Structure 1
Amino acid sequence: MTPHKQLIKHDPKNDAYGDCWRTCIACLLDLHPSQVPHFCADGVSQATADADCRAWLKERGYNLVRTCMFAKYSEMAADWFGEAMYILCGASPNHPGVGHCVIGRGGFEIVWDVGQSGAGLAGPWVDDNGNGIYWCEFIVPRAEMVLLEAA
C-alpha cells in the first residue's frame, strides 16, 4: 500500500467530484492516483462507476469484491478481515450526506485517510432502518488469473 492524498476535493457546485475512491484504489495497487481513472467524475451513477471500475480492474487481472457490514460487528470484521487492507467507505466528515473512502484494516480501523483534510470518517452510513453500516471493498486477483497461474 502506497499512501497518497486525493487530487480532487469534493465540490459538486463547481463540477468537482471528489476522487477518494480512485485514490484508495491507487493506494492499494501501489499506483499514483493519476494512473487510475476517476470513475465518479461528472457525478455518474454508482452503477456506472462500478461497471467502469470493474472493467478497468479486469484488464489488470483484478476484481472488486464489496461487502456491507453493520458497524456493530467490528469484532467480526476484525476476525474475518484480519490484517488485509481494504477500501472502507462511510460518512464524510466534511460533507453531510456524502460518502468518503479511506484505507481500512480489520474491524473498520482507518489505516490511511486519502482525504486532504485528514479527518477520516464521520462514522458509518446510516441505512433506512437507522443501522450504521460500512462498505468494505477488497481488490483481489481474478479467479481465472489465479487458476491460470496455478496450472
Structure 2
Amino acid sequence: MKPVMQTLFGPEDGDCFRACLASIFDRDIETVPHFCRKGNEPWSTDTQAWLAHEYGLGLLSTMPIEAIEGLPKDSFIATLFTLPCHHLIIGRSPRGISHSVVGLSGKIIHDPHPDNLGLVEVQTWEFFVKL
C-alpha cells in the first residue's frame, strides 16, 4: 500500500475513493477511473466492473460491526479484523460530506484528504473479495 492523496475536492467531484483504490493497489491516481464524478451513476456498477477486470475482485459492503446488534464476536465479519486486511471505510467527513479512507484490520491508516482528519461517522466498510 502506498498512500496516494486525492487531487479533486468537494461533494460532486472529489476523488477520495479513487485515491483510496490507487493507494491500496499501488497505482498512480491517474490510472484509476474517477468513478464518483457527478453524473457517473451508478458508479458502484462501474467500480465493480473495473475491479473484476483489473484484479478479479469485487467489493463487498458491510455496516460497521458496532452497528450490527447481537453480532457474535466470532462471526466472519468480526474476524476479518483479526487479519492484516486492507479495505475501504466510507462515512461522513468533518467537512460534512461523504468521504473514503483506507483501513487496515478495521482502523484508518490513510486519509487521502490533505487535512488528514479521517471520519466523524463510519457508514460502511468495503472489503475486496476474490470473484
Q: Report the TM-score range of the alignment, normalised by the length of the smaller protein.
A: 0.7 to 0.9
* Corresponding residue for residue 39 of structure 1: 35
TM-score, normalising length: structure 1: 0.71
* Aligned-residue offset at 1:69: 2.1
Contact kept, 8 Å, 1:69 with 1:136, in 2: the verdict is yes
TM-score, normalising length: structure 2: 0.81
* Aligned-residue offset at 1:118: 1.0
* Corresponding residue for residue 6 of structure 1: 6
* Corresponding residue for residue 128 of structure 1: none
CA–CA distance in 1 between the matches of 2:29 and 2:104?
A: 20
Work out the number of aligned pairs and report it: 123
Structure 1: runs of 5 or more not aligned: 125-133, 143-151
SS in 2 for 1:42: coil
* Rg larger for: 1
* Aligned-residue offset at 1:105: 2.3
The sequence identity of aligned pairs, in percent, is 32
Mapped pair 1:20 → 2:16 = yes
Mapped pair 1:85 → 2:86 = yes
User: Which amino acid in structure 1 is aligned with residue 19 of structure 2?
Assistant: T
CA–CA distance in 2 between the matches of 1:112 and 1:27?
A: 9
Q: Deviations over 1:84-127 (max 9, x none)?
A: 11001111111x2x2111011234x1111111221111223xxx
CA–CA distance in 1 between the matches of 2:43 and 2:61?
A: 14
Q: Which runs of 4+ in 1 moved over 6 A?
A: none
Picking from 115, 124, 130, the partner of 1:135 is 124
CA–CA distance in 1 between the matches of 2:98 and 2:6?
A: 14
- 1:47-126 to structure 2, matched below 5 A, reads 48-60=42-54, 61-71=56-66, 76=73, 79-82=79-82, 83-94=84-95, 96=96, 98-107=97-106, 109-124=107-122
Higher helix share: 1
User: Which amino acid in structure 2 is aligned with residue 2 of structure 1?
Assistant: K
CA–CA distance in 2 between the matches of 1:102 and 1:64?
A: 15
Question: What is the CA RMSD across the aligned residues, in angstroms?
Answer: 2.2
Contact kept, 8 Å, 2:58 with 2:130, in 1: the verdict is yes
